[in-house]
Amino acid sequence: MSLHAQQFFTEHLALPFADGWVVGSTYYATPLPSSPLRLRIDFSRTIVAEEYGGLRLAVIHPDKGELDAVALSFTEHGTFAHRDAARNTQPGQMGYGIIRVFKDRPDWVPWQGAHVAHLRAAIERYTAVWFPGAWQTAPPVRSRSRTARNVPTAPAGASATRTR
C-alpha cells in the first residue's frame, strides 16, 4: 500500500526546503524558518479507494489550524500525459491522470514515469504567496536519479576495455 512518498517528494519532485520531512504519505515543511506557518502536501484521493488524482497543499498555523488549501490535479498539470498517451488512455477512461496503489504489489511505484515540472511550478507559485522568498533562500536539491556524472575520456589510442 506504499505510495513511495519519501522518494516522490524528496527525489522526484525535489522540493527545495531544507526543513522538510515525510511522515507516512504526507510531506511537511517549514519553508521560512522565521515564520510560524507550515506547508503540508498530501496525495489527494479520488472517490475510489487507493486512487489519487493529484496533490493537496495546505498552509497550517500551529494555533489556528489550516489557513488555506488548494488541490493540484495530475491531469491539469500534465503529470501523466506521456504515460496515458503511451497506454492510449483517454480522458474519461479508467486510470487516466491518476495513480493507484496495489496492495498485492508493494514494490510497485505508482507515480513512476511522472513528469512533474508543471506540478512543481504550481507548488512554487502557491508557496510564493504564503512563503515569499522561500524558494530563493532554499538550498538547491539535486535528485540522485537526475545527477550527471563526469566520465573520464580515454586517452587517444587507448583500448576501450578496462580491467579491475
- pTM of the entire predicted model: 0.77
Grade residue 134 by pLDDT with cuts at 50, 70 and 90.
Answer: confident
Position of cell 535528485? 143
Q: How confident is the model at residue 92, as a pLDDT?
A: 76
pLDDT band at 28 (very low <50, low <70, confident <90, very high): very high
Picking from 36-45, 123-132, 137-146, which range would have the lowest pLDDT averaged per residue?
137-146
Which residues share a beta bridge with 21?
28
C-alpha cell read off for 110: 505508482
Whether residue 109 has pLDDT greater than 70: yes
CB atoms within 10 A of CB 53: 22
Instruction: Decide: helix, strand or coil at residue 5.
Output: helix
HEC assignment per residue over 140-154 = CCCCHHHCCCCCCCC
Give the lowest-confidence range in 17-31, 44-58, 102-116.
102-116
